Amino acid sequence: MDMDTVPTGSTVSGRDEGGRFAAGNAFAAGNATARHAQRLRQLFIQGVSEDDIRAIVAAMVQRAKDGCIPSATLLLTRCLGKPATGDNAIPLDEEPAAPPTLDERREELLAECDRMRALSE
Mean pLDDT within 65-72: 93
Percent of the chain whose predicted confidence (pLDDT) is above 70: 77
In this model, does residue 97 exceed pLDDT 90? no
The rounded distance, in Å, linking the Cα atoms of 15 and 3 is: 13
Question: What is the pLDDT, as a whole number, of residue 21?
Answer: 78
In the 3-class helix/strand/coil scheme, how is 14-34 assigned residue by residue? CEECCCCECCCCCCCCCCHHH
4-53 tens-digit pLDDT: 454 455 456 778 888 887 777 776 667 789 889 999 999 999 999 999 99
29-38 tens-digit pLDDT: 677 898 899 9
